[in-house]
Amino acid sequence: MLLATLLVALSTAILPGSASADGHGDENGQQSRPSDHWGVITRNTIGSPVAELRNGPFGSFDAPSAAQRPPYGRGSLGIAVADKSTTLATPSEKVDFGNEIDFYGKSVAGLQEVGFHVFQTGENVGYGGGQPNMPNIRFEIDPNLAAPNDGINYSTLVWVPPASPVTNRWSPYLDAATSGYWYLTNAAAATATGCTQAAQCTFAAVKTALQDGGAPATLYSAAVGKGRDFMWIGAIDGFRVNETIYDFERWGVRALPAD
């Protein structure tokens, strides 16, 4: 009886610094439950791209794993997107991995801190043909513009990052509030605000442009993704929205408080 009790105790124990019994802990013993609301946004996905929660990457052969583990936990969101893989005339493969529930109805003006970490490869740089060739952050929004543009009720607010400062390893935090540029999809919304792909608005400028006297612009969804442009195979972790960091792990997505 004593032996049986001891075996049960040992089998259910969680040692300091180990993963929880259900695998949802990190190397520091930090526990979290994953959100059920994250996944590939199917209506925004074209072709047959990959967006898969995975372990690693832990650096390439020239980047020691001890120094190049994912910035949060053990895992990340792996993305693989082609360029001309569909029957469409232009490069069209695309994937969005995001959350259509938890951000709905929140204010666009309330977005203050946004960004992520990326695992960029030298090959991806080459695939871009001179462009930074990086993944994006995308917020589907209701612009709620004033008349005569008040009939525009859908657009996507897109961040285009600058080139990663490193390749074949994890980047530092890339701050979408202070780097790269933003634009709006839906030609009418982009023209009305002046934030087109050519205009390349700053984060502050695009939020100001949406405050044109109409009702406040609101979110539909939040996502990271890639396409429709160049082939890209890499990973994303630590997607930050305001004071929350979304840590991509093989078993799910957990929300962590920002430092």
Q: What pLDDT, on the 0 to 100 scale, is given for residue 32?
A: 52
Under the banding of pLDDT at 50, 70 and 90, the label for residue 22 is: very low
Report the predicted TM-score, pTM, of the whole model to 2 decimal places.
0.86
Please state the φ and ψ torsions of residue 43, each to the nearest 5 degrees.
-70, -15
The C-alpha atoms of residue 58 and residue 169 are separated, in whole angstroms, by 8
Q: Between 212 and 8, whose confidence is greater?
A: 212
Q: Are 148 and 179 in contact (CB under 8 A)?
A: no
Give residue-wise pLDDT tens across range 56-88. 999 888 777 777 899 999 999 999 999 988 998
pLDDT in tens, 93-141: 999 999 999 999 999 999 999 999 999 999 999 999 888 999 999 999 9
Q: What is the tens place of the pLDDT at every residue in 26-51?
A: 544 454 566 789 999 999 999 999 99
The confidence score (pLDDT) of residue 33 equals 61
pLDDT value of residue 36: 85
Res 171 pLDDT > 50: yes
In degrees and rounded to multiples of 5, residue 212 shows phi and psi of -105, 15
pLDDT in tens, 201-250: 999 999 999 999 989 999 999 999 999 999 999 999 999 999 999 999 99
Q: Residue 3 has what pLDDT?
A: 41
Residue 35 confidence (pLDDT)? 76
Q: What pLDDT sits at residue 167? A: 94
Higher-confidence residue: 11 or 184?
Answer: 184
pLDDT of res. 115: 98
Q: How far is CA 190 from CA 5, 34, 144, 154, 245, in A?
A: 67, 35, 13, 11, 29
Say whether pLDDT at 21 is over 50: no
The whole-number pLDDT of residue 63 equals 73
User: Using CB atoms within 10 A of its CB, is residue 52 exposed (0-12), middle (13-18) or buried (19+)?
Assistant: middle
pLDDT tens digits along 248-257: 999 999 999 9
CA 115 to chain centroid, in Å, comes to 8
Nearest to 210 by CA among 137, 111, 122: 111
